[in-house]
Chain A
């Protein structure tokens, strides 16, 4: 009896220490994120203070106003990224949803080969695609076009989306689909009316991951958009890096604006994103 009490007291003490350790580790781990925000709210002169101010007092949004929202290049970059990300997400959903359903629920031929194709493709370095795509797109007139960037982004987004979505359709009972067919659905309407609505969490996951993937994409933007007018914000940021020199507060403000949609969606849809990313990374 007393042994149990002692043990539980020890366990409770242990938990308290673990909780403190967890908090400290998390705070230390995210110092870079804090430092980005901290710097972005500082006056230009304050970023060179020695030692640096740990809290930007008083905080100023000058960098956001001047460097982000009054700068035409940045605004255009953000719009371009938005267009490419929305385009990529739409095309990915359109193509990947039926494919994942087919691979999960229909007894199709060549199944292992197709599954393997989608998996291997995810291991391909972006540079390996960006190079031949630049050559091929040059002759097809797709360099410096939204279409070109969307096509390139989808090349990686679709296989990932299929891998993430397939388990969701595997969890839709075959009986439900069969019942729908007996009730007069054909192969397609059974998918559209029955299986699709049942896989809604998977659709949310894939929408978020495709969007965020295309939003933060850099290599295709760098290789396939040489014209300023079409460049995504990630490439714009890399190009102004040198021009800005030591204007770290402005650079951090731009970085924070790029990170904002990612962090926001991540916070609100955390459980979908994490589930999807681990599925995509590990599942066969």
Chain B
């Protein structure tokens, strides 16, 4: 059960001649002492709460049970309750729209930035570093700034748009369902864009320049080089970036909570916001647990896909 590595552990296994002289050392059990505090900590503060959360989803837990204990076992009632509620399915749908929209926009932003910063020129590294500020900014800060930029009466966006004659009068972007969804996607993609840029830049650096030389000699235009060389060769890195950003976006809570609170009328209520409201606004800790269990499944499945992808990439 423990032997997952498949590394030879000592005695009679066939070892390559070069290693024959150096006997494999035994597993270092004492070395576990170095790792144990971290492993125990994570088990206690992440794994245990997650499992506890799963058990909560089978009990009847309100505020009273949280403070005094003594919750009753109700089996699958909470699941039946959640899966029968339109709001639950609505927020799952909103979550998916939000995640797909953000991933698409982030990828485009990241790709564009990576292409612009691809060739070396004076000041490039500084510009590329400065743009990362968008990513390291605390979410509460960027969410608030976006709220102000998108303000209906005095926001910068509306000032620009009305100066260009594109809108007439106040437009409350965060006050209408469709534009609110677009707004939170935009704000999230703005933060993740530089991350996508870093990942894709690293991928582009891995493409051999001789390929482009050959393409140029064959008379390929810059667009053809991009379309036929860069994009296909960037595929593995793109996949990694897309999966990673999807996972990050799917679990995003603060950006939406701070920009719209899930509104207007639940239009931007993603699963994390829904789960939070279930627990802390309505004190329904049991059904909130159901929502977070569902919320958990998507990133776990995707991260397993992700780890498999980078494994096979490394082996190739």
Q: B199, A281: Cβ atoms under 8 Å?
A: yes
Q: Do residues B45 and A154 form an inter-chain contact, with CB atoms below 8 A?
A: yes
Interface residues on B, range: 35 or more
Query: Interface stretch among A25-33, A57-65, A197-205?
Result: A25-33
Q: Say whether B116 contacts A258, CB under 8 Å.
A: no
* Contact status of A126 and B41, CB under 8 A, knowing A98-B34, A108-B27: no
B154 touches A248 (CB 8 A): yes
Q: How far is the CA of A66 from the CA of B52 in the complex (A)?
A: 45
User: With A and B bound together, what is the CA distance between A118 and B45 in angstroms?
Assistant: 12
Q: Does B124 contact A (CB under 8 A)?
A: yes
Contact A30 to B144, CB < 8 A, known contacts A107-B27, A127-B295, A135-B56: no
What separation, in Å, do the CA atoms of A213 and B138 have in the docked complex? 8
Cα–Cα distance between A61 and B68 once the two chains are bound (Å): 50
Query: How does the 8 Å CB contact mask read for B42-57 relative to A, with 1 for contact and 0 for none?
Result: 1101110110110010
B74 at the interface (CB under 8 A from A): no
A68 interface residue (CB < 8 Å to B): no
Residue B37 at the chain A interface, CB threshold 8 Å: yes
**A33-B119 in contact (CB<8A):** no
Instruction: Please measure, in the bound complex, the distance between the C-alpha atom of A218 and the C-alpha atom of B310, giving whole angstroms.
Output: 31
* In the assembled complex, A216 has its CB within 8 A of some CB on chain B: yes
**Interface residue B230 (Cβ < 8 Å from any Cβ of A):** no
Flag if B199 contacts A282 (CB, 8 Å): yes
A:79-133 near B, CB below 8 Å: 95-96, 98-99, 101-103, 106-114, 116-121, 123-133
In the complex, the answer to whether A109 meets B2 with C-beta atoms within 8 Å is yes
Contact assessment for B41 and A125 in the assembled complex, using a CB-CB cutoff below 8 Å: no
CA distance A106 to B35 in the complex (A): 10
The stretch of B12-20, B78-86, B176-184, B272-280 in contact with A is B272-280
Contact between A125 and B292, CB atoms less than 8 A apart: yes
Q: Which residues of A contact B185 (CB under 8 A)?
A: none
Residues of A within 8 A of B132 (CB): 266, 270, 274
Q: Which of A50, A95, A266 has a CB less than 8 Å from the CB of B41? A: A95
Near A by CB (< 8 A), chain B positions 264-316 give 272, 275-276, 279-280, 285, 288-289, 292, 295-296, 299-300, 302-303, 307, 310-311, 314
Residue of B66, B130, B135, B292 near A128 (CB, 8 A) is B292
User: With an 8 A cutoff between CB atoms, is A69 at the interface?
Assistant: no
Is there contact, CB below 8 Å, between B299 and A125? yes
Count A-side interface residues using an 8 Å CB cutoff: 101
Q: Is A180 an interface residue (CB 8 A)?
A: no
Interface residue ranges, A against B (CB under 8 Å): 14-16, 18-19, 21-23, 25-26, 29-33, 35-36, 39, 47-48, 50-52, 95-96, 98-99, 101-103, 106-114, 116-121, 123-136, 138-139, 151-152, 154-156, 158-159, 162, 187, 191, 212, 215-216, 218-219, 222-223, 234, 237-238, 241, 246, 248, 251-252, 255-256, 258-259, 262-263, 266, 270, 273-274, 277-278, 281-282, 284
B interface with A by C-beta (< 8 Å): 2, 4-5, 25-35, 37-39, 41-43, 45-47, 49-50, 52-53, 56, 61, 66-67, 69, 112-113, 116-117, 119, 121-124, 127-142, 144-149, 151, 153-154, 156, 159, 163, 190, 193, 195, 198-199, 202, 240, 244, 247, 250-251, 253-254, 257-258, 272, 275-276, 279-280, 285, 288-289, 292, 295-296, 299-300, 302-303, 307, 310-311, 314
Q: Would you give 26 A-B contacts (Cβ < 8 Å), ordered by A?
A: A14-B119, A30-B133, A32-B149, A33-B137, A35-B156, A51-B159, A99-B38, A107-B27, A117-B39, A121-B46, A124-B50, A126-B251, A127-B275, A131-B285, A134-B66, A134-B279, A135-B52, A135-B285, A216-B139, A216-B141, A218-B140, A219-B253, A234-B140, A241-B147, A262-B137, A284-B314
